[in-house]
Structure 1
Amino acid sequence: MNDFARMTLLLSTALVMTGCASTTTLSKADAGFDAENPVLAERIAYEPNRAPAKNVILFIGDGMGISTVTAARIYAGQLEGKPGEEHQLSWERFPHTALSKTYNTDQQVPDSAGTATAMYTGVKTRAGVLGVGPELVRGDCSATEAASLETFWDAASEAGLKLGLISSARLTHATPAAAYAHSSERNWEYDGELSDGAKSGGCRDIATQFVDTNMIDVALGGGRRAFLRDVDPEPDLIDVMGRRTDGINLIDAWQMKNPGGAVVFDKAALDAVPTNTGRVLGLFDASHMDFASAKTGPDRQPTIAELTAKAIELLSADGDGFVLMVEGGRIDHAHHGGNAFNALSDTVAFAEAVAVADAMTSDADTTIMVTADHSHVFTIAGYPMRGNPILGLVKQNPHYDSEGDGLARGSDGKPYTTLGYANGPGAADGARATLTEDEVLDPAYRQQATIPMRGETHAGEDVAIYAKGPRSFVVSGVVEQSFVHDAVRYALDLD
């Protein structure tokens, strides 16, 4: 029941009780209905675009559950000097939304390999596997080929579209790897991680599959170590030594397959790549790229927004259309470490990348979807006052202030933060510490958690999908996560 209907019912009831109901009605204007509300007017005027898209950009915030979006919205607003709650992240202005059910076929709370596979193939599968169906047991190399699934990446490539992958994590990590690899174990990123059974069975590690498939036109992220040999650091690479034990330099192998392509390792080299270059492989860190908060100074790594802008330039150069996936991979890692500061900072950086993509493309021919693979056990609680620093201690309504310092307290008499975790490394060993504002606002602070764990875990609730552009109107309701695959193929009119 909406507010107008509820007010009408209450007034009607009152009128009946006083015997005056027969001649009195309540107009929407009397109830405060604003016919000029710009948001409502925008919704009324909206006309869905039913033509197929030329391009699709899929943004995946790894671990970006709804509580993370809410907290990041407030954080971003407060960075601009506002209370924060009224702020909007870039994708929150998109016209279409849905809720996505994230469970794996064998787990209520999912992992990123199974969720990425569902989004790319349209088939829900087990946790920990990439590009294969749920009938394949995790770690079983023998039936990988038989269980391999087609992805929308395959269909887009066959249709002549350019393909792009961006991740602030390693390019061999779960979310990007599911686009090109078929593996019964997500951790087989390089040959040294293969099990003995996988080696004897002829299964290939994920980095090798990236080079062998050779299907991604622009790939930008971290993960150099999976491509380099475990000998002295390669010349001209700012790197620790690689991890490969097979003596193969996969960067050289990629270059041989793509003689006109460019391999880059830093921002300056990426900026210098001409738009008409063929394929581009950018590996900006030995492992995962830096958190967004660490990307400062002249030698900093490129931001996810800068990677997105460059990828769109490269992929759109020939005008034939493209599919691009952009992963904010380190949101997840910050949450696992129980550190809300970096989780929110990386989410804000991710929102900037979405804004860049939106500005560089047209709603007439480009569909943009923003979603997450799963959530985290991340909470926003405690009745803080409006505009309270989202990373700070809870300051409550003065009416409830028993100590006179404005701080809310638990039953142990100690202050607490608005943000916390149901489990993780921030759990107290014994009695809780007495927190101070300076302590909790330190970027390295780990929010308090309920259950002590070495690493905080994923959560199982639904995540959101936000969409705009051609055929994005299908993004609505509550859907299985595998629906993302269907929506992408429908947008691109891929049979």
Structure 2
Amino acid sequence: MTIRNAAFAAGISLFALSTGAYSQTIPQANDAYYTTGKEELARRLGAAPRTGRAKNIILFVGDGMSVATVTASRILDGQKRGVDGESNSLAIDRFPYVGLTKTYSHNGQVSDSAPTASAMMSGVKLQNGVIGMNSSVKEKDCMAARGQEVMSLAAMAERAGLSTGVVSTAKITHATPAAVYSHTAYRDWEDESAMPAECKAAGVMDIAQQLVKWPHGDGLEVALGGGRQHFLPTDANDPEDDGRKGNRKDGQDLLKAWTDRYSNSGAVVWNKDQFDKIDIKNTKHLLGVFERSHMEYESDRAKDKGGEPSLADMASKAIDMLAQNERGFFLMVEGGRIDHAHHAGNAHRALEDTLAFDAAIKRAMEKVNLDETLIVVTADHSHTLTMSGYPKRGNPILGVVVDEKGEMSKGTDGKPYTTLAYTNGPGAIKDQARADLSNVDTKAPDFIQQALVPIESETHAGDDVAVYAVGPWAHLFQGTMEQNTVFHIMDHATKLTERHAAK
């Protein structure tokens, strides 16, 4: 052995000895961050994958719930409860498996909810604006869409004898919930009044009709959300909004059609009192339409005239109803108004709706057996919300940036700025001058975050979104995956395509 090699070997031996001793006495061993990190490692090491068949699937979709939205909501939750927001944990933060999904559509670098929700429900990517079709169908081309339908996981579940449900704070006919049960070349064809004459003449059904007349199994057991206008004819008074009528020009009352279809076991409700009184033992098919359009934002729900159940209440009742089926169930739950608040440039309401969404997830986890229920939480797409500057630890997440020295941060224009902002949206600069926020309550519910590019409605973003999972085969939700792979993992957990093919 040469002198050089001998010295190298001696160095390795000394390093091994020193690190062995050092590991017992490292100076940070008693640091709180260090010990909590070790505890987290122990939890992860103790998490054994579940590989039995999933009897039940619950897919939670936070519409527009970007990673920045989750982070800001986590901090807000902690600050509202008087604890450290940065180290706080939401219910989804406790899920053992996390990955990322790529949200591009067949023809779009940035997608809308129609193809992204459909990708998760059917396993294929679609063109923007299209629901439940294959990738060849172009937006609004109803004639070319005939015969190009794809089958959703929910349809396969119904055919296998499982119960199915869909819950949303948006209109129940909106793009994400519609991906559960409908096929359409255009997401805005929620009732026939919006459809071209040639499409109606060809017998193409609008989304609301498809919900009520869904042909798989015995139809949806639960459908809860907003959107009454799409189910009522133009001569029908809305039960809550004085002077407002339905949208349907074909004269169909689809709420009556629901009760007619399920004459012995069906119910329609439109307010919280009716919802609370539902007897789940004697109600096998429940349709709830709690608003003429979308349901209220969580921040405004208590002021609703007719009263609305929370997303957690709706998800909880849906689970109670669906779980009566011993064969199992599929349920999609959407936090639909996270997206709408982002479009309005209103971070306050977006975060509050995210917390309501997380509360629904927590409630669901308390109600099911995770050895037989796969819960998947994700978003359909992102938004342009950003979290920036150098705010001190504990700085109000909806406030202006104050640094660790206690000094208010300002732009080159001498004006303060908020931690949360948007790349584009209605809060953009006007008249070449940014508003001075020095004496503005940026934490108020109606405050619109400042944005860079002026645009009436803030847009979606194209970055990856997180997917969280717990239950059978949840460990497959790791790394970066295509969004349509979400379907394939849920299907693998339930074997629904195999069961469908065997029939």
Q: Report if TM-score (shorter chain) is over 0.5.
A: yes
Aligned-partner Cα distance in 2 for 1:61–1:306: 16
1:248 matches 2:243: no
SS in 1 for 2:79: helix
Q: Can you give the 5+ residue segments of structure 2 that lack an aligned partner in the other structure?
A: 1-6, 499-503
8 Å contact from structure 2 (residues 72, 351) kept in 1: yes
Shift of 1:165: 0.3
List gaps (5 residues or longer) in structure 1. Answer: 1-15
- Report the TM-score, using the length of structure 2 for normalisation: 0.91
Distance change >3 Å, CA 344–CA 236, structure 1 → 2:
closer
1:290-348 Cα distance to aligned partner (Å, 9 max, x none): 00011226953111001011111111123331111000000000000000000000000
Structure 1 match to 2:187: 186
Q: Distance in 2 between matches of 1:232 and 1:340?
A: 36
User: One-letter code of the match for 1:287?
Assistant: S
- In 1, the alpha carbon distance for the partners of 2:356 and 2:173 equals 22
Deviates more, 1:45-54 or 1:207-216: 207-216
Larger displacement relative to structure 2 (184-193 or 199-208): 199-208
* RMSD of equivalent CA atoms: 1.9
Query: What SS class does the counterpart of residue 251 from structure 1 fall into?
Result: helix
State the match for 1:29 in structure 2.
24
Q: Superposition pairs for residues 288-367 of structure 1, below 5 Å?
A: 288-296=294-302, 299-367=306-374
Check the 8 A contact 2:273/2:307 in 1, yes or no: no
Alpha-carbon distance in 2 for matches of 1:300, 1:269: 10
Q: Output aligned runs, 1:380-395, within 5 Å.
A: 380-395=387-402
Give runs of ≥4 in structure 1 deviating > 4 Å: 19-22, 30-36, 234-239
Kept in 2: contact 1:237–1:265 (CA 8 A): no
SS at structure 2 position matched to 1:183: coil
Q: Report the identity percentage.
A: 43
- SS where residue 14 of structure 2 aligns? coil
1:275 maps to what in 2? 280
Secondary structure of the corresponding residue to residue 167 of structure 2: strand
| Residues 29-51 of structure 1: per-residue CA shift (max 9 Å, x gap) | 34456688221111111111110
**8 Å contact 1:57–1:324 — kept in the other structure?**
yes
TM-score normalised by structure 1 residue count:
0.92
Q: Does 1:47 align with 2:42?
A: no
Cα-to-partner distance string for 1:368-391 (whole Å, 9 max, x where unaligned): 110000000000000000010000
What residue in structure 1 maps to residue 269 of structure 2?
264
Quick one: which amino acid aligns to residue 397 of structure 1? E
1:222 aligns with 2:229: no
2:90 counterpart letter in structure 1: L
Q: Which residue of 1 aligns with 2:70?
A: 69
Seen in structure 2, the aligned counterparts of structure 1 residues 177 and 39 have a Cα distance that, compared at 3 Å, is same
Greater Cα shift, 137-146 or 376-385: 137-146
- The total of aligned residue pairs comes to 473
Q: Within 1, Cα distance between the matches of 2:349 and 2:85?
A: 18
Q: What residue is the counterpart of 1:166 in the other structure?
A: 167
Does the CA contact (< 8 Å) of 1:82 and 1:387 recur in 2? no
Give me the whole-angstrom Cα distance separating, in 2, the residues matched to 1:29 and 1:471: 37
AA in 2 matched with 1:64: M
Quote the Cα distance in structure 2 between the aligned partners of 1:421 and 1:35: 37
How far the C-alpha of 1:248 sits from its partner, in A, is 0.8
Counterpart residue number, 1:486:
488
1:70-85 paired onto structure 2 within 5 Å: 70-85=71-86
- What secondary structure, in the 3-state scheme, does the structure 2 residue paired with 1:327 have? strand
SS at match of 1:489: helix
- In the TM superposition, what is the alpha-carbon distance from 1:179 to its structure 2 partner? 1.1
Corresponding residue SS for 1:213 = coil
Alignment-derived partner of residue 209 in structure 1: 210
Q: CA deviation at 1:235?
A: 6.3
